[in-house]
Structure 1
Amino acid sequence: MSQPSWFDQIPAWVWWSCVPVFGGGAIAYAGVKSGSNIWIGIGAGFVAIVFLPVPVEVIMVAWIAQIATAFALKRSYLVKTYPKDLELPEDVHLFGAIAARRPKVDINTCSKNDMVNTLGLPIVYANDIDSLRNEGHIFTSIEELHDIIEIPNATLRKIEPMITFSYDYRQESGYSWKRINSMNVDDLIGLGIEPNAAKAITEERQRRGDFKSIMDIKRRTGIPFSAYRHLT
């Protein structure tokens, strides 16, 4: 089923909500399917009203409210029951609502299939992330995905609710950027880093200790990532 048709559909239980007595049960059914105890309670309440000794006018008002409630809950129900094998919608709000109900994807341990089919990333970005991970790099923040992989910020804002980063910088000891923590100014210049940048990196490291990641270098020194990107 395509994305538009999923959210354009009207579930059968919504139509059943138009039937007195059964309508409340239909809303309760939607609550069971979507895991909402509140909806179950609302549906049970509409059913109970029919059997209470109240004027017919009250029952009619409750019936109209029952129908209105069902249609108001329809969109939320479709979000809650969105199929896991269906590509996530382009709409940012729908994407975020669906993503909030799913387990987060760990950028450092997930498969390329997760990146492409779950997060919706183009395969070129998934390949780049996987390539760096295979070389020992551990991603620590969403900013790194932009600065290193060059994923557009608009895409990152969209997938941010769905991703997480497991991180232990000690695992990166064999990775090339880590050399920055043991080199002096001349060594860094020898690696192609500009003299002023090499001096700033060395002084910051001596002042506040070893850098924990590539992004840590950028945050603490203010030096653009492009100045030492070749080390990665």
Structure 2
Amino acid sequence: MDALWQDILSRPGVYAGAICTIGLMTLIYRENAFYRFFEHVFIGLAAGFSIVVLIKEILDPFLYQPVFKKGEWYWTFVFMFGLLFYFIHSRKYNWLSRLPIGFLMGFSAGQAFQGFANTYLPQLAKSFRPLYVTKPDGALDMAQAVNNLIFMIVLVTVMSYFFFSFEQRSKVIRSSAQFGRWVMMVAFGAIFGTTIMARMALLFDRMYFIFSDWLKLVQ
């Protein structure tokens, strides 16, 4: 027993992590008070961490340092403008909260459009691929040509699936849409498979922590 207490005192972080891991994994059996306790602990730690990040990453570099260290007092107007958010709790002056909300929504919409343009416009440009591809010596690059052909077939068939503006009476369009649907199912299955692999990687990491770092059964 003394050796156990000495081990606990020498590795308190490892024991705390192991107990939290086991407590959260009890959800596999069913929801219980043990799991809910560690769930609240996790939420509390996340909330505390977010407050620290707020202070260190936002308030300190964008308010305290410019205003009190550099003398850039005009940043206080931005801070006061942000405080208008809290007027949403006032029945009489809640209209003031709409000012920063509208500004934030407009700014976010602009950023979203910029991100959309930077992400998808290059993809649209690269969708136009040549079906006849040559090597530097002028010979036909059969592998790249077949790859571009498959890409174009998948692109056209998937897009044909989303033709909802008119009834798909043509057998060619219906067959193309059905093939595009199967292609999307394969893609979604691959995405779901990678998600499962990521979750399994997290599980294996926790299992390795328990059996190696805590119990020292695996070296």
| Higher Rg | 2
Q: Which protein has the bigger helix share?
A: 2
The alignment's TM-score, normalised by the length of structure 1, stands at: 0.20
TM-score normalised to structure 2 length: 0.21
